[in-house]
Homo-oligomer: A and B are copies of this chain.
Amino acid sequence: MQIGIVGGTGPAGRGLAARAARAGHQVLLGSRDAERAVAVAEGLSAAQSVSVAGCANADAVEAELVVAATPWDALVSTMQPLATSLEGKVVVSMANALVKEGREMVAVYPARGSMAAQLQAALPRSYVTAALHHLPAAKMEDLTSELEADVLVCGDSADARAVTCEVISSIDGLRAIEVGSLAQAGPIEAFTAVCITINIRHKVHSTLRLGGI
């Protein structure tokens, strides 16, 4: 599938781009600054032996499936101007609203309950899902690193959830687990604070696994 990653030059975007490209997807890595996107995509492609193309965010959203990987506080302001191109599309939100407090990350609560809900409100004609929050970015980007992680997926459209799960499960080492509606996005996003705080305290790159399923 063709996958566009808006705000793809950060750690979350790069890691997803590398893994999705290795899985055979055609990846468009977008940035506000197209030149920077091209440079990051070339560096990533060379380092991880994959083929990722860099482009402007406005070009990345032409892909079949779009992933928003911007910093959380730039999510709505980056995506809303692209709303027309995103009409009728599945848009996957990776955002977590977190702030650093001492040696912990703490969750902050968006007014609509989650960043994914903020995005859905900004893109009423798109099908927003929330996914890919709890992955260790460093391990994602290094394709020599073995990953075995569960990815929780939620959203209000059953079709959009299914497509999101399908793409995620096509990536080696990731298992998509469908949770439910966008009402689940708040707890899923906020739980990232717990995962990162554990990583800081225990000096690890933890991954989320669910047993018994």
Contacts and interface: CB of A to CB of B under 8 A. Distances in A.
Nearest to A192: B187
Given A211-B207, A212-B136, A212-B205, A191 B187 contact: yes
Contacts of A152: 194, 198
Nearest to A211: B207
A204 interface: yes
Interface string A177-211: 11111011011101111110110011011111111
Interface stretch (A19-27, A100-108, A120-128): A100-108
A126 to B, nearest CB: 22
A109 interface: yes
A211 B212 CA distance: 15
Given A198-B177, A212-B207, A183 B148 contact: no
A149 interface: yes
Interface in A86-118: 101, 103-104, 106-107, 109
A101 B181 CA distance: 10
A180 B104 contact: yes
Contacts of A186: 107, 190
A212 B198 CA distance: 11
Contact of A211 (B179, B197, B201, B206): B206
A181 B104 contact: yes
Contacts of A180: 103-104, 197-198, 201
A207 B210 contact: yes
Residue of A178, A190, A205, A207 with highest tally of chain B CB at under 10 A = A190
A209 B179 CA distance: 17
Contacts of A212: 136, 204-207
14 contacts: A101-B183, A103-B180, A106-B184, A136-B212, A152-B198, A184-B194, A187-B187, A187-B190, A188-B191, A191-B191, A191-B194, A198-B213, A204-B213, A207-B212
